[in-house]
């Protein structure tokens, strides 16, 4: 139990710079505010995995606020031999005012455990594994100049193009980002 609690405390984002061989420096990285983390972690079925920093973008406010929470993937993420991790969530929140985002909770419950044609979820090993939300939520909380997103829930793990039954996995973590408009 103590090991699990210690692992959860280590989750989240940090300001560590990745090794140049895996993420070359870009102008955007050089001008990034010092408060913005460059690396995030999620606990997936008890294993801590690293991801690029989180970004949160306001898409629209009518009829409700729509936001995208996604990883700031490197250019190499589109290459076939890329083996990094990423995440992408498009969420409609129950408000029309972007100022309310810090008190919102996005919840999702899938109708079945079948694979959906969706870009939402967590992607491991360069997209070879898709963790599709099954019963998940993301709670937003104000944190300094940005927002802290608490990700928690059960996801369905689909491997590559395998259409067979998925494995259920637990995903948990905290992601920090400033809201981009």
What is the reported pLDDT for 157? 94
* 19 vs 10, residue with greater confidence: 10
Whether the predicted pLDDT of 70 surpasses 60:
yes
Phi, psi of 38 (to 5 degrees): -110, -5
133-155 residue pLDDT tens: 999 999 999 999 999 999 999 99
Question: Quick one: which H or E segment has residue 2?
Answer: helix 2-10
Determine the pLDDT at residue 117. 84
At residue 99, the 3 state secondary structure works out as helix
For the segment 78-95, the average pLDDT, to the nearest whole number, is 96
Torsion sign over Cα 147, 150, 156, 158: positive
pLDDT, mean of residues 71-97: 96
Q: Kindly list the domain boundaries of the chain, sorted by start residue.
A: 2-14+26-180
Confidence at residue 71, expressed as pLDDT on a 0 to 100 scale:
98
Reported pTM: 0.80
For range 125-139, the mean pLDDT:
96
* pLDDT number for residue 13: 62
Strand partners, 108: 136
- Whether the pLDDT of residue 132 is over 80: the answer is yes
- In this prediction, residue 113 carries a pLDDT of 87
- Tens of pLDDT, residues 14-39: 544 444 333 333 333 333 445 566 78
Residue 43 has pLDDT above 60, yes or no: yes
Q: Give the separation between CA 103 and CA 105, rounded to whole angstroms.
A: 7
Q: What's the chain's average pLDDT?
A: 84
């Amino acid at each position: 139990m103590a090991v699990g609690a210690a692992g959860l405390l280590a989750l989240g984002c940090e300001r560590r710079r990745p090794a140049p061989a895996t993420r070359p420096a870009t102008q955007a990285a050089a001008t990034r505010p010092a408060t913005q983390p460059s690396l995030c972690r999620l606990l997936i079925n008890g294993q801590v995995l690293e991801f690029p920093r989180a970004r949160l973008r306001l898409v629209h406010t009518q009829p409700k606020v729509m936001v995208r929470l996604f990883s700031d993937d490197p250019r190499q993420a589109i290459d076939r031999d890329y083996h990094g991790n990423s995440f992408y969530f498009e969420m409609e929140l129950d408000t029309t005012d972007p100022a309310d985002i810090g008190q919102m909770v996005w919840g999702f419950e899938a109708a079945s455990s079948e694979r959906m044609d969706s870009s939402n979820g967590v992607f491991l090993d360069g997209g070879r594994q898709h963790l599709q939300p099954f019963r998940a939520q993301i709670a937003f909380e104000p944190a300094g100049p940005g927002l802290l997103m608490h990700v928690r829930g059960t996801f369905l793990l689909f491997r590559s193009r395998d259409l067979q039954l998925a494995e259920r996995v637990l995903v948990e973590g905290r992601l920090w980002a400033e809201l981009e408009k």
